[in-house]
A and B are shown apart, each in its own frame.
Chain A
Amino acid sequence: MTLKTRLLAGAALIAMAGAAHAESHAMMEHPETGEKLAADQSFTYRVLDEFPSIDPNLIEDVEGSAIGRQLFEGLMNQDEKGDVVPGVATGYEVSEDGLTYTFTLRDDAKWSNGEPVTANDFVYSWQRAADPATASEYQWYMGLMKITNVDEVIAGDMEPSELGVKAIDDHTLEVTLSQRLPYFPQMVTHTTTFPVPKATIEEHGDAWAQPGNMVSNGAYVLEDRVPQEYITLKKNPEYWDAENVIIEEVKALIINDENQALTRYLAGEFDQTDVPAGQFPRLAEEHPTEAISVPNLCTYYYNLNVSESGPEALKDPKVREALYLAIDRDVIVENVVAGGQKPAYTLTHWATAGFEVPSVEAAQMSQQERNERAKELFAEAGYGEGGESLSFDLLYNTSESHKQVATAIGQMWKQTLGVDISMANMEWQTFLEERHNKNYEIARAGWCADYNEASSFLDIMDTNSSYNDSGFNNADYDGLLAEAKTAEDPLPLYTQAEEILTQEFPILPIYHYATVFMMDDTIKGYPLENAQDNWYAKDLYRVAEE
């Protein structure tokens, strides 16, 4: 046998083994549901852009986080509803004062090189994430976790080793906090807190996250990565729960243009892609089993510049309320964005865990009543018919869908209040800077929760929040949020805070986001009720087509 024929024979054997393997899946049924599984257990989806990083401590975007969740596993995971379930930790205990969390780690968790995952791996990761030398943007998230000494470590005044996290033994991790944080267990489902392999990082430096170097502890390992083209993950046989992982390969294709992505999805090239704005109704009709709309914890709103630099008219709460009332949100969600979004009269997204949307008066009225009220308020303020005429500049970041929303709202204000709106769009970075410097009158904004808790929304309107671009300054509001941080039941405080926003109107909430996407109907197990869209490929499976 020549070398070449031997190689061919070898390849044939491997192919046969592969076929036999696939065969075994084709025979398989899902262990819980009993559905017949497809021979091809792969999941391929489209992402918008290249991941800035897939190093858990450095990950800074939603799509990178999704990759991080497959490659690595943190202390806790989320289930299909977004509730916290065990990950590497089997559970945790909280001290009486709520300041010390003790996590118990499972003893069968392993890295992809076979080494055990220990409490020290978490200590190393958390110290690395907070270390100024790592220069992670997500140091801010470590700060948000209120771990003892975290601000001092970030400022470089203390060594990372003084961070309030330590390994009691290999399987016990103790975290101390500087203040009570009832949602702390939710926070450790975030990629920044996932363990990273010290030995690998020390060996390869910045190149440790490249294919071939990376060692990970999640249900998948990094197989291949071509920037701006794709990333491929393969099932990790060393994962502690590998026998229950059904999807063998996860692939993310980077496709910038969403219409192009949709065409390729429809040609059957992959399993999931976003729906471009406005196309959901048509797709839902043509592909009812594939077009999906789920709530997404983000709120779309307009900032009114109520600071010194803002226009005089906006300093009058009546004018702000009139603008708030005269937006026909039903038209926006049904005819403009049209993807299952819901009208927003308050800031916090309706699907936020443990939160109930306060019943504000405006939400109960019909649009006609709202318009009448808006006209009255406007007249009282001395504007509109018979009064002074008003005009505002409306600023948004360049995007077709923001433009559509702005055009519609501008029309509504013009019709109801006679306000002239001149629209201006700016490229993203310029837009952010102008808005942050308060060189605007009315500006588009969107906010997504960092964690599934109302404070993640309400905190942005705190006087000292760096995202409070309205320049809103209200001591009562700040006091309520401060009180909520340590309250047994913060919900009444959140309701009061929302009420302040609907008395003062520094912002005009417009709609609560939904994620709309197309997904092949053979893919099952996708967590449609997880409002943060935190999906785990280990929970997915592909059923055989009938």
Chain B
Amino acid sequence: MLNYVLRRVAVAIPTILLLVVISFVLMYAAPGGPFNSERPLPAQVMANIEARYGLDQPYWKQMANYVWNVVVHFDFGPSFQYRDRTVNDVIAQGFPVTLTYGFWSFIVALVVGVALGVAAAIRHNSWLDYLAVGISIGAQVLPNFVMAPILVLVFTLWLGWLPGGGWQGGQIEYIILPVIALSTSYMASIARITRSSMLEVLNAGFIRTARAKGLPTRRIIWKHAMKPTMLPVLSYLGPAFVGMITGSVIIDVFFSTGGIGQFFVNSAFNRDYSVIMGITILVGVLTVTFNLVVDLLYAWIDPKIRY
């Protein structure tokens, strides 16, 4: 087990490095630069700025310096766009926000999604099944960029119950709408996967045996069917969790949460190289980590899997 984890970590390092190199190349291949604007700067002014940020160095040297600073000093450099802050500041400020609403979205999506999926599978082809499937299809076809304005229209403008945006350090009333908007489509996917997986498991031989033994249905579902049902759900949850906690630009834009998703997208438009790199690495490391966590959870759920 430990051996396996170490091996995976050893593979993760070159993966991340490759990610850095590819991002770097793509970034510099894109036209424009962080200090290009509608009003082109005089050559001398541009030269001064590039010198200050080391952009006058050859690309390989910029990349080497960057990697060195990240690895040795854990310093992701200054933001080129937000001159008052560093990339570390941007991440330190934005990541806790997305982590908070992402975590709660994950919980909501998981609990509601699994409940819907299981209910639909147990009462297969009943009104409950149709209702659950209806809800999850509805949630799936309402993307969050449609959900977000509708939620604000209803809960802020018409009912006046909840603020239409802001974060205020993560007070509960500011979290509710982002969580609903972000979790619905994940919830729908989880419900669908759970339902089909549960249906398959319920038809398996060992469930028939359990029924034949005369076990109560509740016990069959919870004790025997639940674990194998969760296997395909689990492989979906790893990337979904990373997707949620690293934020959604839609959520950040519509609800002005100050989360990291917005910085990520803006940095691409602004060619804010250091912020692009910083957040790419963050997302990369999280993805690798949670894929590993999921693989380890597999072994816990399914003893047949050995490492």
Whether both chains belong to one complex is answered with: yes
Partner of A55, one of B31, B42, B84, B256: B84
Partner of A269, one of B39, B94, B164, B262: B164
Alpha-carbon gap, A253 to B164, bound state (A)? 12
List which A201-232 residues lie within 8 A (CB) of chain B.
206, 209-210, 226-230
Determine if A264 and B42 form an interchain contact, defined as CB atoms under 8 angstroms apart: no
Determine if A430 and B253 form an interchain contact, defined as CB atoms under 8 angstroms apart: no
Decide yes or no: A137 and B42 within 8 Å by CB, A256-B262, A260-B165 being known contacts: no
Partner of B44, one of A155, A226, A255: A155
Determine if A229 and B263 form an interchain contact, defined as CB atoms under 8 angstroms apart: no
Which of A33-41, A45-53, A344-352 touches B?
A45-53
Q: Is A436 an interface residue (CB 8 A)?
A: yes
Q: Is A95 an interface residue (CB 8 A)?
A: no
8 pairs from A and B in contact (CB 8 Å cutoff): A135-B52, A227-B90, A228-B258, A229-B167, A260-B254, A428-B269, A430-B31, A466-B40
Q: Collect the chain B residues with CB atoms within 8 Å of residue A229's CB.
A: 166-167, 256-258
Q: CB within 8 Å of A: which residues of B?
A: 30-33, 35-42, 44-45, 48-49, 51-53, 78, 81-85, 89-90, 93-94, 148-149, 152-153, 156-157, 160, 163-167, 252-254, 256-259, 262-263, 266, 269-271
The 8 A CB mask of A145-178 against B (1 = contact, 0 = none) is 0000001001110000000000000000000000
Decide yes or no: A137 and B164 within 8 Å by CB, A54-B84, A132-B51, A228-B256 being known contacts: no
Determine if B41 and A140 form an interchain contact, defined as CB atoms under 8 angstroms apart: yes
Decide yes or no: A263 and B44 within 8 Å by CB, A137-B35, A227-B82 being known contacts: no
| Beyond known contacts A428-B32, A429-B33, A466-B39: 17 more, CB 8 A cutoff | A52-B82, A53-B82, A133-B48, A133-B52, A135-B48, A154-B48, A210-B84, A227-B94, A253-B165, A256-B254, A260-B164, A264-B165, A267-B160, A429-B269, A429-B271, A433-B32, A466-B42
Determine if B149 and A259 form an interchain contact, defined as CB atoms under 8 angstroms apart: yes
- Which residue among B35, B93, B157, B257 has the maximum number of chain A CB atoms within 10 Å of its CB? B157
Partner of B32, one of A227, A264, A432: A432
Decide yes or no: A137 and B49 within 8 Å by CB, A263-B149, A429-B36, A430-B32 being known contacts: yes
Determine if B81 and A52 form an interchain contact, defined as CB atoms under 8 angstroms apart: yes
Find the B residue at minimum CB distance from A460.
B39
Q: Collect the chain A residues with CB atoms within 8 Å of residue B149's CB.
A: 259-260, 263
Find the A residue at minimum CB distance from B250.
A257
Determine if A467 and B39 form an interchain contact, defined as CB atoms under 8 angstroms apart: yes
Determine if B40 and A436 form an interchain contact, defined as CB atoms under 8 angstroms apart: yes
Alpha-carbon gap, A429 to B89, bound state (A)? 25
Determine if A135 and B53 form an interchain contact, defined as CB atoms under 8 angstroms apart: yes
B306 to chain A, nearest CB (A): 46
Decide yes or no: A137 and B45 within 8 Å by CB, A257-B254, A263-B157, A429-B30 being known contacts: yes
Decide yes or no: A429 and B32 within 8 Å by CB, A140-B45, A228-B263 being known contacts: yes
Q: Collect the chain B residues with CB atoms within 8 Å of residue A281's CB.
A: none
The 8 A CB mask of A115-151 against B (1 = contact, 0 = none) is 0000000000000000011010101100100000001
Q: Collect the chain A residues with CB atoms within 8 Å of residue B30's CB.
A: 429-430
B99 to chain A, nearest CB (A): 15
Alpha-carbon gap, A60 to B153, bound state (A)? 34
Determine if B164 and A263 form an interchain contact, defined as CB atoms under 8 angstroms apart: yes
Top 4 nearest A-B pairs (CB, nearest first) are A429-B32, A135-B52, A229-B258, A466-B40
A491 to chain B, nearest CB (A): 25
Q: Collect the chain A residues with CB atoms within 8 Å of residue B257's CB.
A: 228-229
List which A413-450 residues lie within 8 A (CB) of chain B.
427-430, 432-434, 436, 446
Q: Collect the chain A residues with CB atoms within 8 Å of residue B33's CB.
A: 429
Partner of A154, one of B38, B45, B83, B259: B45
Determine if A434 and B164 form an interchain contact, defined as CB atoms under 8 angstroms apart: no
Alpha-carbon gap, A54 to B89, bound state (A)? 16
Q: Collect the chain B residues with CB atoms within 8 Å of residue A263's CB.
A: 149, 152-153, 156-157, 164
- Which residue among B38, B156, B263 has the maximum number of chain A CB atoms within 10 Å of its CB? B38
Q: Collect the chain B residues with CB atoms within 8 Å of residue A432's CB.
A: 32, 36-38
Q: Collect the chain B residues with CB atoms within 8 Å of residue A137's CB.
A: 35, 37, 41, 45, 49
Find the A residue at minimum CB distance from B85.
A227
Find the B residue at minimum CB distance from A143.
B42
Q: Is A537 an interface residue (CB 8 A)?
A: no
B148 to chain A, nearest CB (A): 8
Q: Is A58 an interface residue (CB 8 A)?
A: yes
Decide yes or no: A53 and B84 within 8 Å by CB, A266-B157, A429-B269 being known contacts: yes
Find the A residue at minimum CB distance from B167.
A229
Q: Collect the chain B residues with CB atoms within 8 Å of residue A254's CB.
A: 256, 258
Q: Collect the chain B residues with CB atoms within 8 Å of residue A226's CB.
A: 93, 167, 258
Determine if A427 and B84 form an interchain contact, defined as CB atoms under 8 angstroms apart: no
Determine if A429 and B42 form an interchain contact, defined as CB atoms under 8 angstroms apart: no
Q: Collect the chain B residues with CB atoms within 8 Å of residue A210's CB.
A: 84
Q: Collect the chain A residues with CB atoms within 8 Å of residue B82's CB.
A: 50-53, 227
A352 to chain B, nearest CB (A): 18
Alpha-carbon gap, A228 to B165, bound state (A)? 12
Find the B residue at minimum CB distance from A155.
B44
A252 to chain B, nearest CB (A): 11
Q: Collect the chain A residues with CB atoms within 8 Å of residue B48's CB.
A: 132-133, 135, 139, 154, 156
Alpha-carbon gap, A154 to B43, bound state (A)? 11
Q: Collect the chain A residues with CB atoms within 8 Å of residue B256's CB.
A: 228-229, 253-256
B164 to chain A, nearest CB (A): 4
Partner of B156, one of A143, A259, A267, A467: A267
Alpha-carbon gap, A432 to B270, bound state (A)? 12
Alpha-carbon gap, A266 to B49, bound state (A)? 42
Q: Collect the chain B residues with CB atoms within 8 Å of residue A267's CB.
A: 156-157, 160, 164
A112 to chain B, nearest CB (A): 18
Decide yes or no: A433 and B163 within 8 Å by CB, A52-B83, A135-B52, A209-B84 being known contacts: no
- Which residue among A50, A133, A466 has the maximum number of chain B CB atoms within 10 Å of its CB? A50
Find the B residue at minimum CB distance from A132.
B48
Q: Collect the chain A residues with CB atoms within 8 Å of residue B36's CB.
A: 429, 432-433
- Which residue among B33, B83, B164, B269 has the maximum number of chain A CB atoms within 10 Å of its CB? B83
Partner of A228, one of B37, B94, B271: B94
Determine if A227 and B164 form an interchain contact, defined as CB atoms under 8 angstroms apart: no
Alpha-carbon gap, A254 to B153, bound state (A)? 19
Find the B residue at minimum CB distance from A469.
B40
Alpha-carbon gap, A128 to B35, bound state (A)? 19
Alpha-carbon gap, A53 to B39, bound state (A)? 18
Q: Collect the chain A residues with CB atoms within 8 Å of residue B49's CB.
A: 135, 137
Alpha-carbon gap, A226 to B90, bound state (A)? 10
Determine if B83 and A227 form an interchain contact, defined as CB atoms under 8 angstroms apart: no
Q: Collect the chain A residues with CB atoms within 8 Å of residue B38's CB.
A: 432, 446, 467
The 8 A CB mask of A308-323 against B (1 = contact, 0 = none) is 0000000000000000
Q: Collect the chain B residues with CB atoms within 8 Å of residue A428's CB.
A: 32, 269
Alpha-carbon gap, A484 to B193, bound state (A)? 73
Alpha-carbon gap, A154 to B94, bound state (A)? 36
